[in-house]
Structure 1
Amino acid sequence: MFMTRLIDDIKRTWRGELQPPLVWSCMFAAMCLVVATVVRFGMAHLRPDVFFTPYIPAVFFATAMGGSAVGLVTALAGAALGMTLDFGGAPVDVARVALMMMYLSVAALVIWGVNHYRSLAAKQREIARRLTEEEQYRKLLVDELHHRLKNKTSTIHAVLHQVLHDQPQVWSRIDQRIRALATADDLIARADGQGCDLKDLLTSELGPYGHVRFELNGEPLFLPAKLAVSLALIFHELATNAGKYGAFASPRGFLQVSWTMQDDRLKLTWDEAEGPPIGQIGKPGFGSKLLKAALSSFDGRTETAFLKTGIHCTMQCRVPPS
């Protein structure tokens, strides 16, 4: 337990999340200097003119564990040891002084680099913390909105049931559609966290308009959560438009949706037929902007054409691995 905690504290100190006591930092820096001096003594048997190089790692580790002040003291101590300790019998001359100045310059860069890395790491941790909080808030808000939507749907269902209790035929048709809409909302809410199958998503969105009014052609395809929600928004927009002006607004209207997969790319076609004549097309609204932008984060695009038989829409996008 003690060793595990010690290793964890060292990792946190290395990342700059924990500042150890000054005494511990100084002891660690002194140990680094001792190790560097021993290495220098061993190297002196091969190269007597190596005076300061072994102290560069000591400065790095001392700064990483104790901070810039401890690193600066370690650098100065390394310079003093390099000047005073002589393992090869070489005199103190201008060359050694020049090497010391170079060593101090490199040590300064090392200290700056460690502090710069720590500041960047601290910013990244702060950004990650804010993103986590924002994601938790978004999830809480979405859950609350979904809860309120279910309550409103239940209220509307109850009010209509009271009003139409003496018209059972009308109520049976409305009852089925309200239940289908509630089922579609539940599926989208689950897809936001888990993903869902493409056919199930289409069926839930198109079901309220009658299962004999559309045909789905394609192999089973599981959609990751974010892509499922993006496609659900597109399908809802297209289905709403079909209910107001397209295939579902005509007694003989029919919709066919087909999709294929090639490698990791999905191609989906939405074809409406036998809808009412399309009048003058107005300015692009929120729905048109949604169709163009919803799949951009999946390297995708949506193309819509207003034909005499109804809307023809093609979608292409990359399906991320689940």
Structure 2
Amino acid sequence: MNRLISDIGRIWRGELQPSLAWSSAFAAMCLAMATMVRFGMAHLRPDVFFTPYIPAVFFATAMGGSAVGLVTAIIGAALGLLLEFGSATVDVARVALMTMYLTVAALVIWGVNHYRDLAAKQREIAKRLTDEEQYRKLLVDELHHRLKNKTSTIHAVLHQVLHDQPQVWSSIDKRIRALAGADDLIARVDAQGCDLKDLLMSELGPYGHVRFELNGDPLFLPAKLAVSLALIFHELATNAAKYGAFASPRGFLQVSWTLHEDRLRLSWDETEGPPIDQVGKPGFGTKLLKAALSPFEGKTETTFLKTGIHCTMQFRVPPS
């Protein structure tokens, strides 16, 4: 019984094509029920000849297709024209009503088929998108696996080269492990999101926890926003390591954020970095800062101070 109900649901949605015998039996049942309704209505209005057969045409078409619907419409017209439940006789008025009935039935058949075609296209598009998403996830997982293997290889090679320099190795070892941890966090972020402070700690940790300060309440970031911020923080941290606060022994970074309703304001302030004499042309990092937060109604303002970057970001935090 459960399977029959499931099959009927699939037929109704157009996911399963029934057999001709099943469709014919269903159409006959619809015609019989319509005739019974017409018989009941004849006691009130004996001139209702064709109206009860319109729903029969609809359901027969929806379950059996246009051919079954067309045959149902013709049989309904014949029953309405020839079958008598009162004293009325076949006249010009009944023939005119039959013509109107057939016109409406044709529109019903066209509408049902048009809807089924649209639904089939939507299912095809949904399936293609699902397949593409699964393929994308497979590629991301494979790339992440290869990245972990390369990081492990680099770690092993450096350990072999620097085995007689334990102090240097200790410093490099911590940074490589922290970078690997940041990659793992970004991979997890793409699936489920993460806390803002955890994201910053993962990205800034390789540069030493005494080199930065984080000020703000715990805030969970949805996956898409977390990935965008991970890219931004990585770009800013890399820039700080090359030219900003992390490039100077006394350099310091302060990251602060406040949330008002669903708008987050985040400030990235570098101090005590090496002097910046000249700012180059906008590159990938600048374009990333401007574009990454646009899906979240965000904007970024960046000021190049003498000792580092001052960057302010404002954007909407979607509900989790």
Q: TM range, normalised to the smaller chain?
A: over 0.9
Task: Return the alpha-carbon distance in structure 2 between the equivalents of residues 180 and 47 of structure 1.
Answer: 84
Which residue of structure 1 lines up, in the alignment, with residue 36 of structure 2? 38
Task: Return the alpha-carbon distance in structure 2 between the equivalents of residues 316 and 96 of structure 1.
Answer: 71
- Letter of the 1:132 counterpart: T
- Equivalent residue for 1:265, pick from 245, 263, 266: 263
User: Are 2:283 and 1:285 equivalent residues in the alignment?
Assistant: yes
The share of aligned pairs that are identical, in percent, is 86
Q: Deviations over 1:38-60 (max 9, x none)?
A: 11111122222211111110001
Task: Return the alpha-carbon distance in structure 2 between the equivalents of residues 84 and 282 of structure 1.
Answer: 90
Report 1:101-180 matches (<5 A). Answer: 101-180=99-178
Distance of aligned partners of 1:83 and 1:241 in 2 relative to their CA distance in 1, 3 Å threshold: same
Q: Deviations over 1:263-305 (max 9, x none)?
A: 2232211112222233433333222222222222233333322
Which residue of structure 1 lines up, in the alignment, with residue 83 of structure 2? 85
Which residue of structure 2 lines up, in the alignment, with residue 65 of structure 1? 63
Q: Deviations over 1:177-228 (max 9, x none)?
A: 1111111111111222222111011001001111111110111111222221
Which residue of structure 2 lines up, in the alignment, with residue 27 of structure 1? 25
- Equivalent residue for 1:210, pick from 201, 208, 214: 208
- Relative to the length of structure 2, the TM-score reads 0.95
Which residue of structure 1 lines up, in the alignment, with residue 184 of structure 2? 186
Aligned-pair distance for 1:152? 1.1
Q: Deviations over 1:10-63 (max 9, x none)?
A: 000001111111011111101101111111111122222211111110001000
**How large is the RMSD of aligned CA atoms in angstroms?**
1.5
Task: Return the alpha-carbon distance in structure 2 between the equivalents of residues 282 and 301 of structure 1.
Answer: 21
Which residue of structure 2 lines up, in the alignment, with residue 230 of structure 1? 228
SS of equivalent residue, structure 2 residue 310: strand
Task: Return the alpha-carbon distance in structure 2 between the equivalents of residues 23 and 112 of structure 1.
Answer: 22
Instruction: Give structure 1 regions of 4+ aligned residues with deviation exceeding 6 angstroms.
Output: none
Q: Which runs of 5+ in 1 are unaligned?
A: none
- Relative to the length of structure 1, the TM-score reads 0.94
- Letter of the 2:58 counterpart: F
Distance of aligned partners of 1:92 and 1:281 in 2 relative to their CA distance in 1, 3 Å threshold: farther
Asked whether the equivalents of residues 277 and 306 of structure 2 are also in contact (C-alpha less than 8 Å), the reply is: no
Aligned-pair distance for 1:238? 1.0
Task: Return the alpha-carbon distance in structure 1 between the equivalents of residues 281 and 91 of structure 2.
Answer: 83
Q: Deviations over 1:225-247 (max 9, x none)?
A: 22211111111111111111122
Task: Return the alpha-carbon distance in structure 2 between the equivalents of residues 240 and 289 of structure 1.
Answer: 15
Which residue of structure 1 lines up, in the alignment, with residue 47 of structure 2? 49
Q: Which runs of 5+ in 2 are unaligned?
A: none
Distance of aligned partners of 1:98 and 1:282 in 2 relative to their CA distance in 1, 3 Å threshold: farther
